[in-house]
Amino acid sequence: MIKLDKVTKVYPDGTEAVKEVSLEVGKGELCILLGPSGCGKTTTMKMINRLLPISGGQIYINGLDNTKMDDNELRRNMGYAIQQIGLFPNMTVGQNIETVPELKGWPKAERRRRAEELLELMGMDPNEFMDEYPNELSGGQCQRVGVARALGADPPILLMDEPFGAIDTITRVRLQDEFLKIQQEIKKTIIFVTHDIYEAIKMADKIALMKEGQLVQYDTPANLLYRPKNEFVENFVGTDRALKGLQLIRVKEVMTSSPPRVKSDEKVGAAREQMEREGIDWLVVVNDDGKFAGWVDKADLGRGDRVRSIMGHSVMTTTVNTVLNEALSLMLSYGLENLAIVTEDNRLQGVVNFGVIRKALTELTQRRQSE
């Protein structure tokens, strides 16, 4: 889908920003350009949509040399989220998002519908934000509008230069998850720049690690972590490799999918019997409709009549696509021993706890070492 062949960029002032970079991104793949500041990530990206003229080598889009295409046609079919965000200050949020659809001549109603859909996707209420101007938004909100604008005309290719850079950690993790979920459905070909290695490991199908304009290693996240090509990669990946490895595993791969559970209107006695029978000291409480309600602990059993009246109401849950690293971080920050995994409408799907995570980690390390 996108192929770079010995791509080189020398700026007019003589700076050699990109040196003979070759890489291929398949259709539907998410490729992350990773590397320290100034290593040439943005430069590489801007040569793909020809914002910068290439100095040497070729770039092919669907097998066609991109210098042979019409610039504007090329760019309208390639969503672009620029590093500096660059929203148009004289246009509303809605008008910003509708830019490319308008250029492509979509009818007004359809454009507006698309803008609403994208705002919702970004977790921003269309009623509240559609007619706001960029100077009325926070930095994080601006950045989300920038991403929505890039997705505007539903382009098959996306170029995103640090799209989540200015967003707070919690929203950022949510957007990453959301983005990955959409990506599983829509399968766009994406080139994504970041210098956050956690983000890279979590999101990428393949990571292109760059250093001073050169491509050092182009590989899967796992290989980058466990089979670093040289010392630079090893140092860049860092020492806490085990923890970073947790970014590679999703909750659904390791969770206990049928945790011991009890209905909220059961008698406390029944809960006690179940615990004794299964030899455990906790149960997940669900409502009649299978939705997650809370936890009941052996220590709480003495009081009350129904499970409902004695259970702990923990609101902290997560979904199957969460990576283990984040699940662990949730458990640590909320002091949970067990974390409920639920569907979007809050139905219980499973549970993870420290034991499960430790086991996954051990397996991961052993597997890598034996390879």
Ligand X SMILES: Nc1ncnc2c1ncn2[C@@H]1O[C@H](COP(=O)(O)OP(=O)(O)OP(=O)(O)O)[C@@H](O)[C@H]1O
Interface positions with ligand X (CB under 6 A): 11, 13, 15, 17, 37-43, 83, 195
Q: Is 76 in the site for another protein (CB under 8 A)?
A: yes
Query: Which residues are CB-contacts of 27 (< 8 A; sequence separation ≥ 6)?
Result: 1, 187, 189
State which of positions 56-85 bind Mg ion (CB under 5 A). 83
42 binds Mg ion (CB under 5 A): yes
Which of 65, 136, 281, 305 binds another protein (CB under 8 A)? It is 136
Q: Residue 176's CB: how many other CB atoms inside 10 A?
A: 20
Q: Which is nearer to ligand X, 195 or 263 (CB)?
A: 195
Single-letter amino acid code for the residue at 108: K
Comparing CB distances to another protein, the nearer of 106 and 354 is: 106
As a whole number of angstroms, the distance between CA 331 and CA 353 comes to 8
Report the residue number, 82 or 286, with the smaller CB distance to another protein.
82
Whole-number minimum distance, CB 165 to ligand X, in Å?
A: 9
Partner in contact with 38, chosen from Mg ion, ligand X, another protein, none, beta carbon below 5 to 8 Å by kind? ligand X
For ligand X, give the closer residue by CB, 19 or 114.
19
Among 40, 94, 134, 163, binds another protein (CB under 8 A): 134
Position 329: which residue type?
S
The pair of structure tokens assigned to 314 is: 């923990």
CB of residue 166 to Mg ion, shortest distance in Å: 13
Side-chain-side CA neighbours of 122 within 13 Å: the count stands at 29
Q: Does 49 bind another protein (CB under 8 A)?
A: yes
Q: What is the rounded distance in angstroms from the CA atom of residue 301 to the CA atom of residue 105?
A: 65
Given the rule CB under 8 A, which of 19-27, 44-52, 121-129, 172-180 is the region that contacts another protein? 44-52
Q: Which is nearer to Mg ion, 158 or 342 (CB)?
A: 158
- Dist. CA 296–CA 308, nearest whole Å: 9
Choose the one of Mg ion, another protein, ligand X, none that binds residue 318, judging by a C-beta under 5 to 8 angstroms depending on kind: none
Nearer to another protein, 92 or 189 (CB): 92
Q: Which two tokens stand for residue 178?
A: 């959301």
Check residue 103 for interaction with another protein (CB under 8 A): yes
Q: In the bound complex, what is the minimum distance in angstroms from residue 333's beta carbon to ligand X?
A: 29
Alpha helices in the chain (DSSP H): 41-48, 71-76, 93-97, 99-103, 108-121, 126-129, 139-151, 169-186, 197-203, 221-226, 231-237, 241-245, 251-254, 268-278, 307-310, 324-334, 354-370
Other Cβ atoms closer than 10 A to 362: 11
Q: Which of 4, 39, 87, 200 binds another protein (CB under 8 A)?
A: 87
Residue 217 sits in the site that holds Mg ion (CB under 5 A): no
- How far apart are the C-alpha atoms of 259 and 127, rounded to whole Å? 40
Q: Given the structure tokens 């909320």, which residue do they identify?
A: 334
Q: Which residues bind Mg ion (CB under 5 A)?
A: 42, 83
Q: Which residues bind another protein (CB under 8 A)?
A: 46, 49, 51, 71-76, 80, 82, 84-92, 99-100, 103, 133-136, 149, 159
